[in-house]
Structure 1
């Protein structure tokens, strides 16, 4: 699993920070979370083909999170994309779709499905689950979690001991199906080890610290949390329904997350190390995101 930060600024670009966008490469897919202005350019620098993006998840409709989407979709079409694309976002996504399709001389010939979402499970496959949860911002904002489904280890020797021949029946048992061997039923639980927890990544989008996010991010391996302000500007954070770096650290600590990544940094700060240090005072396992930062899990 690989996380690539394409943009890590807040409302305004800076010399070295672009608008929010994060790529997740996992399970044989490329997924994009938010699509701020300059996302196309950042994809080039990150060596990620937009043609391979299968799903896009929008947290909310402030411009810094969506203004890259019209251009990205038109570029995909210009390059001859035929593969379907699915875009998820809170209520209002269909209005955004209409705006995109009516912007200039827009031509999009490949299939795109726009899905308005609410709290709950969005996707569940044999490999992963993606969920969404409303958190607290001054507009509707969805946090997202991606959790790997990790199967218990297959106890090969135990299966052989029970008379299961080496071959396709091993796979069926590992997938949770009973098999019959010489008139005897072998159940999966007889040949599988203990349950294993897969990797969990949670992305806050824009939010003030809240119990909803603490609960949603519970036991995350990686919590990506907006950290727009320093402590000295906490009043601005509260007025604008954003978080300080230390707020993010408290959410990480209370949710029992393993690692915190700070992003969505205000351009008012030239020394971002101060935000990092303020977070580390509360939660030591904290890193500061920067554009094109890559995390491999």
Structure 2
């Protein structure tokens, strides 16, 4: 199954010749979480080789235009392409009026597959197929939420222990399904006897925010952290004023939370591709793990599961 981030746009408030407004599709074992579809997302999806049929969740962090003006196009594409599966829409409950405007921004043959999932309060959790989707509040001039995807913890079978206990063939599947098997001699072998814990994988999506408790809670221990780094440290005061992070702050979060792969995005239009080494350099002073500066239409895999 596929677990990767498809980057659709990486600009902040103003798109540039090389960076579209925001848009991020996290593909996860048949689920497709479309985060913050900004203006132009529908076209960017076509350019990236993904379709409306890949989307099972639309997750909006807040209702500034660069994070939501692509909603009408995506909704209408879901309708036009006759997507048959359920599509859930998560967004701040306080922005219900804006959601309704975006959802019905123009005349089209509507669809009934989209279900509203407004978020409010300190923690909101939704079951989402094989994972749980969690929303937590961030710190921005308007109400904003970040999102996190978590696979449940499991267990990894140990071949040597299976052999030692005489477990083979169909019995292995029974052991995994039932949690124990009874051998011919009447002895019972439990799943714990033949396996070790396997932590579930996770990813977090943190957009427009100052440093706050929600940022750290979302990022704690994730395999993949997609986080805004709108400014470099020389503009730290501006970042704080407008409710944004610097690349250095993104690195601090990743280091403190034990993140495995850090993806920097949501870059101010004042920066060009030539500035990417500066973003990596500032984040790397704080974080000793892998750092990616996102570019439109690239794909970033979720790191392989820990051994």
Please report the TM-score for the alignment, with normalisation by the length of structure 1: 0.90
1:94, 1:114 within 8 Å by CA — same for their partners in 2? no
Task: Summarize the Cα distance change of 1:181–1:76 in structure 2 as closer, same or farther, 3 Å threshold.
Answer: same
Which one of 282, 287, 290 corresponds to residue 286 of structure 2? Answer: 282
Q: Identify the match of residue 87 of structure 2 among 81, 85, 88.
A: 85
Q: Deviations over 1:2-29 (max 9, x none)?
A: 1111010001110011111111112122
Q: Is the 8 A contact 1:160 1:166 kept in 2?
A: no
Query: 1:206-221, aligned counterparts within 5 Å?
Result: 206-221=208-223
> RMSD of the alignment, in Å?
2.1
- Between stretches 282-291 and 98-107, larger displacement belongs to 98-107
* Matching of residues 76-155 of structure 1 within 5 Å: 76-92=78-94, 94-118=96-120, 119-123=123-127, 125=129, 127-155=130-158
Q: What is the rounded CA distance, in whole Å, between the counterparts of 1:104 and 1:215 in structure 2?
A: 38
Say which SS state the counterpart of residue 84 (structure 2) adopts: coil
Trace 1:1-297 onto structure 2 (pairs within 5 A): 1-92=3-94, 94-118=96-120, 119-123=123-127, 125=129, 127-156=130-159, 158-159=161-162, 161-162=164-165, 164=167, 166-167=169-170, 169-175=171-177, 177-182=179-184, 183-191=186-194, 193-270=195-272, 271-273=274-276, 274-284=278-288, 285-297=290-302
Write out per-residue CA displacement over residues 252-295 of structure 1, whole angstroms, 9 at most, x where no aligned residue. 11112122211000001234222232222222432211111211
Runs of 4 or more consecutive aligned structure 1 residues displaced over 6 Å after TM superposition: none
Superposed displacement of residue 124, structure 1: 5.8
Unmatched 5+ stretches in structure 2 = 303-307
TM-aligned CA distance change 1:177 to 1:21, over 3 Å: same
Q: Where in structure 1 are there 5+ consecutive unaligned residues?
A: none
Greater alpha carbon shift after TM alignment, 30-39 vs 82-91: 82-91
Distance 1:278 1:142, change over 3 A: same
- The whole-number CA distance in structure 2 between the counterparts of 1:229 and 1:124 is 33
Residues 81, 110 of structure 1: 8 Å contact kept? no
TM-score (normalised: structure 2): 0.87
Whole-angstrom distance in 1 between the partners of 2:109 and 2:102:
10
